[in-house]
Homo-oligomer: A and B are copies of this chain.
């Protein structure tokens, strides 16, 4: 049984190099792919898994990215230096996330169809990729038994929020936002079922201040073949809390925030937004469902519909957080929107779905840098207080 809402139609296509692409349409006028029948990508891309020829004409099998265990921290570090098959690159001025131009022999970009509502496809140059036939086994490195290496056998997907490259996510309609939520849930469900995947992460990087060069509104979905450091850390804390109290930590945090009320910035029937009591970023909001659910897949219809409105409201508050520009336009607040979902396997019962939305911006033109204390020691210093952040987010409610 599909978890997709009846209002959303999913159509699968295959790109020329073998990558998957999925249209998620809510528009009654058409179903992407079915209308144009150009479901498959006619570009001259070579199979991403095909052997690569070196300069001497010798064939080398594609092995995919690998990752090494940083023994000082216990963290896996994928090294994605060898990105393969860079044989087809769109022109520098092209937007690879735009729909194909009508009548063109093939798309300049990644989307073979001439229109779409929401589309998801595998990243062409992924830092995590499973190559068929490459065993996902951990081995020693340079014969040192505490140095470990493994294929970075995960998956990286891109999600386009709108065919319109001038829109920000906060400007899409609630119906379209709902479709995006369906797409996130669908991808979470499918990716969670893949061999070796331990965690699915839906996120958006927004703003050139954090290195985003493509202005087309889009996000990313990473399926990690390992537990990420932050999730591992939350699980340690959650287990300690369960041992001490028998309760779920994230549930207790939400209840404590609701009882206090001091940092609550949003409440609806199914969702609560708050600035966490020990917020570390200059702007930071957590958005959590009232009901205990592990991930987006587990949200019911009502919760999804309510989330569409809640999400847009939060994004619009973040956009109004800083004073407008001199020309009267809103300051485009750079942000990272990160969906924390329970891992697929062990620890699943101890996490609880929540969105962490945060910004590096301290004031227009002034960023929080992660310098010596943060990057060297992992020791955060905040220049504001959670209460000030909450007050401002409430002030800009409309």
Q: Which residues of A contact B (CB under 8 A)?
A: 68-81, 127, 141-142, 144, 146-147, 201, 203-205, 210-212, 220, 222, 224, 228-231, 233-234, 236-237, 241, 249-250, 252-253, 256, 259-260, 262, 276-280, 336, 338, 340, 356, 358, 367-373, 375-386, 388
In the assembled complex, 28 residue pairs joining A and B whose CB atoms fall closer than 8 Å, in A order, are A70-B276, A70-B278, A72-B234, A73-B234, A75-B378, A77-B382, A78-B380, A78-B381, A80-B383, A81-B384, A81-B385, A127-B381, A142-B262, A142-B277, A144-B256, A146-B256, A201-B372, A203-B376, A204-B372, A210-B371, A220-B372, A224-B377, A229-B378, A230-B376, A230-B377, A230-B378, A233-B378, A370-B370
4 further A-B pairs in the complex, CB-CB below 8 A; given A72-B234, A146-B249, A146-B252: A229-B379, A233-B378, A356-B376, A358-B375
Asked whether, in the complex, the Cβ of A278 is within 8 Å of the Cβ of B201, the reply is no
9 smallest beta-carbon distances between A and B, as pairs: A338-B376, A211-B369, A229-B378, A203-B372, A70-B278, A228-B377, A68-B278, A230-B378, A228-B379
Residues in chain B near residue A262, CB distance under 8 A? 142
Task: Check B382–A241 contact: CB distance below 8 A.
Answer: no
Q: Which residue of B lies closest to A360 (CB)?
A: B375
Q: Which of A71, A210, A262 has the most CB of B within 10 A?
A: A71
The CA of A203 and the CA of B229, in the complex, are separated in Å by 24
Minimum Cβ distance to chain B for residue A174 (Å):
24
Enumerate chain B residues within 8 angstroms of A375, measured Cβ to Cβ. 336, 338, 358
The residues of B that contact A203 with a CB separation of less than 8 Å are 372-373, 376
CB nearest to A78 among chain B residues: B381
**Complex CA–CA separation, A237 to B148 (angstroms):** 14
* Distance of A388 Cα from B81 Cα, bound (Å): 9
Residue in B closest to A212 when the chains form the complex, CB atoms: B371
A356 neighbours in B (Cβ, 8 Å):
376
Question: Would you give the shortest CB distance from A144 to chain B, in whole angstroms?
Answer: 5
Contacts of A373 in B (CB 8 A): 201, 203, 222, 228
What residue of chain B has the Cβ atom nearest to residue A358's Cβ? B375
Q: How far is the CB of A371 from chain B (nearest CB, A)?
A: 4
Alpha-carbon distance A276/B73, docked complex (angstroms):
12
Give A298 Cβ to nearest chain B Cβ, in Å. 20
Is there an interface contact between B228 and A70, defined as CB atoms closer than 8 Å? no
B260 pairs with A142, CB closer than 8 A:
yes
**A74 vs B241: C-alpha distance in the bound complex, in angstroms?**
11
Contacts A80-B383, A384-B81: A71 and B278 contacting too (C-beta < 8 A)? yes
Q: With A and B bound together, what is the CA distance between A303 and B68 in angstroms?
A: 32
* Contacting pair B81 A147 (CB below 8 A): no
**A286 closest partner in B (C-beta):** B72
Which residues of chain B are near A75, meaning CB under 8 Å? Answer: 278, 378-380
CB distance from A383 to the nearest CB of B (A): 6
Most buried by B among A231, A233, A252, A356: A233
Out of B73, B77, B234, B385, name the residue touching A233 (CB < 8 Å): B73
Chain B residues contacting A252 (CB-CB under 8 Å) are: 146
Residues of B within 8 A of A76 (CB): 379
| Minimal Cβ-Cβ distance residue in B for A70 | B278
Question: With A276-B70, A277-B147, A384-B81 in contact, do A372 and B230 touch (Cβ < 8 Å)?
Answer: no
A155 to B233, CA, bound (A): 27
Distance from A392 Cβ to chain B, minimum over Cβ atoms (Å): 13
Q: How far is the CA of A75 from the CA of B380 in the complex (A)?
A: 8
Q: Which residues of B contact A78 (CB under 8 A)?
A: 380-382
